[in-house]
Chains A and B, each alone.
Chain A
Amino acid sequence: MAWQRKVLRINLTRGEIHHEPLNMEWANAYMGSRGLGTKYLSEMMDPKADALGPDNVLIFATGPLTGTMSSTSGRYSVLCKGPLTGAIACSNSGGKFGAELKNAGYDLLILEGQSPSPVYLNIVDDAVSLESAEDLWGTTVWHTEETLKERLGDPQTKVASVGVPGEQGVRYACIVNDLHRAAGRSGVGAVMGSKNVKAIAVRGTVGVTADDPKRFMAVVKETMKKLADDRGRQGMTRDGTNAMIDTMHAFGGLPTRNFQEVQFAGSEKINPTAMRAKNENGHTNLINNKACFGCSIGCGRVAHIDPKHFSVADKPQYWHASGGLEYETAFALGPVVGVDDIDACTYVGFLTNEHSIDPISFGVTVAAAMEMFELGAITLEDTGGIDLRFGNAEALVQAAEVTGAQQGFGVDLGLGSKLLCEKYGHPDLFMGVKGQEFAGYDSRALQGMGLGYATSNRGACHLKHDVFSPDMKDQSGNGKAEPCKNSQDEIAAIDSTGLCIFTAGAWGMDDYAAQVDAACEGDWPTERLVELGERTWNLERQFNLNAGLTAADDTLPKRLLETPAPSGTAKGRVCELDYMLKEYYQLRGWGADGVPTAETLGRLGLNA
């Protein structure tokens, strides 16, 4: 148990709805969520297919622990081929949608084909229907979610949807659920839009059952206590993830002005202390923290914008409370674009949720545009009059508004940084890997992070490995390959449980295994979890190789490899990727060409 043993498969082209049993052989090898979704995706589609065409497959995957009483059990993954990267996309979200889908009785929801007209999917346990979304097409996430909840008449309905950027193929459009949680990266929202699916509404009352309820409750109690006592968890609850902006600034790993610098003097104007402070109008940005389903951390922020601020002074519809700054939004709407205006950053954060755009990719794309604007490669005529200089908060706001509406220069910004930099003749200014923009860590200061960025199967990503501790002890590339590889495997396993990786500071792999073992049938020792994580990583790699990616894609921009960090604790360093990568391939059991050897595939039970 803990699995529902049921898959909901929708053929959008034909409008067919099927319930089918979960493939338990695959569930035993890949567990759930990220791992199991990767297996289904790999079996169902040709990795060479057009990411925005009908042959791409979009999978919403819960884990066996999703929707249970384990702490942080609100997670689900969205998988498909990513339009931003051409690689596998696996984007993870919290909120309540995933737990609701599980409670409706499904481990996986699979969308195939392409609907001939805009639709939304309505799921109430076993009752599933495709409904017209003609009246919702062209509207925002927030409008769609509120309209569907009212229309369906049950306030407990959970909604995941896309805005105009998702409909119009913005390559970093995300899928937003519960108004401000998102499967944020790699453009999964553009894939949903390409299928003419505006939204998924779900209400679940079936429940989730553990295999050994008494043991499961005991394990959950024990692990929750461990989480409660953890200092990292306490910091996350108090300050949110944005506490890291101060550490990264002090450390000298805070990407600033499109990675030209590694420290940002204005970070103190957008940090957790600034979020709690009263401004000159007596307004305080932060209202409270917020937790996803079943979470005892509560790292989410709830904030509101000063109504007197230029961004919303004439827009009372934005005076309400909504998702506040987290570290990645603060980085991508702050230092990397040189902006230190907390209300502008918060407003643009609201817009990214309202319109379903990934704030990381958006911010880093704007940063590249700003650098090209200052170089004269992009002109005022190109931007439609937006004065796109670093540090210009008004320009950031205008850029977000036109990108959300997909008007004017917003269409160019919707290309993502890689294509934008190529279009305007400066491909070297793209700051990312495999077409996806970096998160808020500079790999000249954090070498293991650089290796993780270069090898992440979904393109540049900070969430698929955890080398923070070795990186903060030693700023060379020595000894980084092994913790990078090991943490990639472990996080692939954690993602596959349906729990949040923000528990990983408090819990070891034994803690996850104990919860899975009590919740699921069969024996789930720690070694089995780690092995399925490695299996998942290699299957993702195989998907990418079959899509046409090669070892040449496992690299970083010249700026990080050749231009030394200008300040901070890593002043003078570049990222030492070459030798880390060689060691990494060996540890992975891959050839020098980055291809898993037959022996490695055989050991993991994978086909060549």
Chain B
Amino acid sequence: MSLPKLRQYHAAVWDEPIVMEMGRAGRRGMVFPTSDAEVSAADGTLDTVIPASARRQHPPKLPELSEFEVQRHYLHLAQETLGMMGISLFGTCTMKYNPRVSELVAARPWLAELHPNQSEETLQGVLEIVHGMNQILCELSGMAQFVFQPGGGADAAYTHACITRAYHEHRGELAQRNEIITTIQAHPCNAATAAAAGFNVVTLPLEEAGYPSVAALEAALSDRTAALMVNNPDDMGIYNPNIKRWVELVHQAGGLAFYDHANFNGVMSRLRARELGFDACMFMLHKTFGAPKGGGGPAVGAYGCSEDLVAFLPRPLVRQVGGRYTIEHEAPLSVGRVREFWGNIPQVVKAYAWTRAMGSDGLRQAADISVLANNYMERRLLAIPGVSKSFPELSSPRLEMTRYSLAKVAEDTGVTVLDIQNRMVDFGVDAFWLSHEPWIVPEPFTPEAGELWSKEDIDYWIDVLATVIDEAYNDPDTVRSAPHCQAIHKVDGAGADDPQRWATTWRAYQYKHSIQVTS
């Protein structure tokens, strides 16, 4: 196979200390004038305004720098960012561009300066947006009501586990119904949140078809079943075509069915959770709906349910009464709060702006493009020697992503998927996603193109992978010792597993490395 010539790339390297070690004593970014004598006479000095008990005994140990030095330092750090700047086909995360206009809308003072405890009369605009987003998601899912309180997808799954508990408790069956069924390929948060809410977890492994059989589900169902929590498609891109039958069986057994829509991108406006029979579902606004994500920052797991479960939803809920919007603060059967107030409202506003801009036709087109892009990518990737896909014998097309394996490359060359990942970033593309736990596919990787990336970007990314696999066979040491063109080279990860060495704050670093701490 002839390989194309790739573009040259090298990351910026700024070998400078961290900000806590920079500066000179007495240097300042901004010097404030002392207050006028009249002001001091009227209001007192700092010593009289701030009580002695609240006053520091020693000044804080902050670095002393000019404003310009601070600005320059953080610009350098930004240049050394290791990801999210190149072509990022980071599977299971559905990487999307966050339009500037959405950021500008959310930053407008009429939104940014609101407080949720303001009177409802002064919040009508934002309440209308929250209500509008609720209506959009109800239309996409067939559910009756959404709540935006959960701070992410796992939080929404936990909300479902709490609602399952409240629902069965209300029916007097909680003591008996103590099992939640999930699959090994559902996102691990489903099993984790079920366990956190006090349920026993029953997991179904995959069978020959790439998903668990109906017979396995039947073996798991009983009068102990509280709920099913499942993704579809899973993050190998495999869609379980029996899902409607699954939900029927769960209902016959007396359980609730929850659709974790983490992998919604390929099926947006192509199916509706309620029409498949599900009682509840979850959308990630920070992923599928164009709002920003990353770094554990603000996220929204929008949780929606059928009319039967609305009574159990967390409160407060935004409601429309007549022509006005109002906040329902309490409800007798509500599970209470899973987070503060009504959720991360700036994220809801950005998702609302994105979804309104896309429109229903745009969403459908985006879903179709993401599936098309994945299948185009699959055709090219499987032509690369050493690349295979999970469940290779399945002929039905995958949806928006496919899980691949580099097991043959590892077997032939000793170069692992982690080495390949480290080497790819030398060409200015971002590290790929490997797999959620558990790794049932050896040496896995999972790219997802979504609707964002152009054909040129996808082709270039595949060219990079092909080049690196070729290197693995012909020059394995270069791959194993990568990255070479990045801001930092191969990192010894051992420190991350050693509590004596890791430090998430400067103070912890000083303490663990025996540096004298004076304040």
Partners in one complex: no
